[in-house]
Amino acid sequence: MDRKLLVERSAKGKQSLNLPLCDVPIHAIEDYIPKNYLRSGKNGLPEVSEPEVVRHYVNLSTLNHHVDKDFYPLGSCTMKYNPKINEYFAGHPAITEIHPLQQEETIQSALKIYYDVDLYLCAITGMSRFTLQPAAGAHGELCGIMIMRQYHKRKNNHKTTILIPDSAHGTNPASVILGGYKSVTVASTADGLVDIDDLKTKLNDGVAGFMLTNPNTLGIFEKNVLEIADLIHSVDGLMYMDGANMNALFGLIKTSEMKFDITHLNLHKTFSTPHGGGGPGAGPIGVVKKLVPYLPVPRVEKQDEHYTLSRDYPESIGTMMGFWGNYNVIVKTWVYIRMLGEAGFKDVSKHAIINANYIKASLEDIYELPYKLTPMHECVFSGDRQKQHGVRTLDIAKRLLDYGVHAPTIYFPLIVHGALMIEPTETENKESLDHFIDIMRAIHRESIEQPELLTSAPQNTPVKRLDEVKANCELNIRW
C-alpha cells in the first residue's frame, strides 16, 4: 500500500469537485468576524483528485480489522454486524439538517422519534419511562446512580454503599464512586453466580442498591435474581441492571419481571449502531414508576398529536447531556426496532444463545472452561491449557489476527485466569462460526507443535508484534 498522506499527494490545480455558482449576495467576511479571529495565511488543505481521496480512505479502512471485514467475536462489547439501512436513514437530510435549538413546532418528527424509542424500550424492558440522554453505558450508569441517590435523598435514607459482584464490568465500581457511594464487592460461587451467603453478610441499612449484569460477564443467567432483589428491597435498596448483555433477553424476559428498578441499555451495541472508535454511543436509563420523577430533563411528552419538551419536573436530577442525547444513534435504534418487531427481537436472543453455545460445545474439549453452566450470549474460556506450552492468552489473541479474524475480549472477567471471552452475536451464520472454530483448533495445535508462531504473532498484519510497554510509554501515532 502507498502510505502517502493526502497532503503529500497534493499538487496545485488538482480538484475533486466543482462548486455551484453563488446564488446569494456576496459579503466580505471581515464585516461579520473580527480580524483577529481570521486566518492570516492559506488553510493548507490538500489539492487532490476524487480517486485519490477515495483510494486513500479505502486503503486506510483495510489496515484495521472491523466487523464489515470479517468476524469480530468481542465479548462484553457486542461487536455485531449492523444493517446499512440504519446509516441511510440517519444520513437523510431531514435528520442531518435540523438543529436542536429550532422551535419545537419545526422538529416534531425528531421529537416523535425520541418519544417512540422511549415507548419501545419500555415495551422491551417493562420499565415505566426512559431517558435517552446518556451518551454511553458508563454515562448511563452514572445517571442511574444519580437517580438512586435522589430517591434516597427524598426519603431521607442514609445510604453509603452499593453492592457489586466480583464479575462486574469495570465501569460499575467507577460509576458508584463518581456517584458518591462506596463500592462493596460480592463474591461469586463456583458456578459463577452471585454468592447469596456472601451477599447476606454485606447487606445492611446502609446499602443503597445492587448493580447486577444479567446475564453476567460469564454469559450465565443469574437464576437467583428474584431472591437477590428481595434481599436488596428488604433494606429499601434499589436493583440496578447493567443491560450490556440485553441481547440475550429480548422477547424472553423483561427486566421488570426480574424486579429491577433501574435499567441501562447500550444502543450502540445491542441496538445495532456501529460501536468502537470512540463513539458516538447512547446508554438510555429506564426506571420503574416510583423513580420517574427523578429522570433527567427535558423530556419529550405527547399532547394529542403534538410533541413538546417538558422541564416541569422539580425532583429531576437535571440534564445529563446537551441537546438531549446522541440523536444519530437514537434514529438508528428507531429504524432497527421498527424493522425487527416483537418476533424479530425474540429471534435475536435465540440466535445469540444458540451461537454462543455452539462455540462452547465445539471448543470445550481443548480450551479450559472454568464455569460449566450453560451460557447465554457468550462463553468464557481460559488459555491456561495452552500456557503449559509457553503460550499465553495474549499470544492466542495475536495469532487470530493472522487468520483474518478479530480476537475476543481477553483477561476479562478477572475471575477467569487468562480469560478468552467469546461473543459470536446473533448476526453470524453457522459457516462463519465453523470457520472460527477451525481457526481456534488450529491455534491449539500450533501451541503444541509450533508455539513460536503464536509468541511472534501477528505476522500478516500491517503492524507486527509490538513491544507493548515501549508502545505505551513512547506513543507514536505517525507513520
Domains of the chain by residue range: 1-62, 89-340, 347-473
Over residues 362-406, the pLDDT tens digits come to 999 999 999 999 999 999 999 999 999 999 999 999 999 999 999
Among 54-58, 104-108, 274-278, the minimum mean pLDDT is found in 274-278
Question: Nearest CA to 258 among 82, 385, 127?
Answer: 127
Q: What is the 3-state secondary structure (H, E, C) of the chain?
A: CCCCCHHHHCCCCCCCCCCCCCCCCCCCHHHCCCHHHCCCCCCCCCCCCHHHHHHHHHHHHHHCCCCCCCCCCECCCCCCCCCCHHHHHHCCHHHHCCCCCCCHHHCHHHHHHHHHHHHHHHHHHCCCEEECCCCCHHHHHHHHHHHHHHHHHHCCCCCCEEEEECCCCCHHHHHHHHCCCEEEEECECCCCCECHHHHHHCCCCCEEEEEEECCCCCCCCCCCHHHHHHHHHCCCCEEEEEECCHHHCCCCCCHHHHCCCEEEECHHHHCCCCCCCCCCCCCCEEECHHHHHHCCCCEEEEECCEEEEECCCCCCCCCCCHHHCCHHHHHHHHHHHHHHHHHHHHHHHHHHHHHHHHHHHHHCCCCECCCCCCCCCCEEEECHHHHCCCCCHHHHHHHHHHCCCCCCEECCCCCCCCEEEECCCCCCCHHHHHHHHHHHHHHHHHHHHCHHHHHCCCCCCCCCCCCHHHHHHCCCCCC
**Which cell numbers hold the place of 108?**
416534531
pLDDT at residue number 479? 52
**Confidence band, pLDDT 50/70/90 cuts, at residue 466:** confident
Enumerate long-range contacts of 337-343, CB under 8 Å, 24 or more apart. 337/117, 337/120, 337/271, 339/83, 339/85, 342/251, 343/251
pLDDT at residue number 277? 61
Mean of all residue pLDDT scores within the chain: 94
Question: What's the CATH class of domain 89-340?
Answer: alpha beta
Task: Tell me how far apart the alpha carbons of residues 245 and 198 are, in angstroms, rounded to a whole number.
Answer: 24
Query: Mean pLDDT across the stretch 415-426?
Result: 96
**Rg, Å, the chain Cα set:** 25
Query: Mean pLDDT across the stretch 97-106?
Result: 92
How many of the other CB atoms lie within 10 Å of CB of 214? Answer: 24
pLDDT at residue number 323? 83
Over residues 204-248, the pLDDT tens digits come to 999 999 999 999 999 999 999 999 999 999 999 999 999 999 999
Judge if 89-340 and 347-473 fold alike in CATH terms: no
CA neighbours within 13 Å on the CB side: how many for 388? Answer: 9
Task: Tell me how far apart the alpha carbons of residues 81 and 355 are, in angstroms, rounded to a whole number.
Answer: 14
Over residues 432-446, the pLDDT tens digits come to 999 999 999 999 999
Is 19's pLDDT higher than 60? yes
**Which cell numbers hold the place of 154?**
427524598
pLDDT at residue number 378? 97
pLDDT at residue number 468? 81
How far is residue 227 from each of residues 31, 148, 190, 195, measured CA to CA in Å?
70, 20, 18, 11
> pTM for this structure?
0.90
Task: Tell me how far apart the alpha carbons of residues 476 and 479 are, in angstroms, rounded to a whole number.
Answer: 8
Exposure letters 55-83 (e unless 16+ CB within 10 A, then b):
ebeeeeeeeebebeeebbbbbbbbbbbbe
Mode of pairing for the β-strands spanning 419-422 and 409-410: antiparallel
**Which cell numbers hold the place of 419?**
480469560
98 class by beta-carbon count within 10 Å (0-12 exposed, 13-18 middle, 19+ buried) = middle
Of the CATH numbers 3.40.30.10, 3.90.1150.10, 3.40.50.10070, 3.40.50.300, which one belongs to the domain with range 347-473? 3.90.1150.10
Task: Tell me how far apart the alpha carbons of residues 459 and 399 are, in angstroms, rounded to a whole number.
Answer: 8
Is 327's pLDDT higher than 60? yes
Is 478's pLDDT higher than 80? no
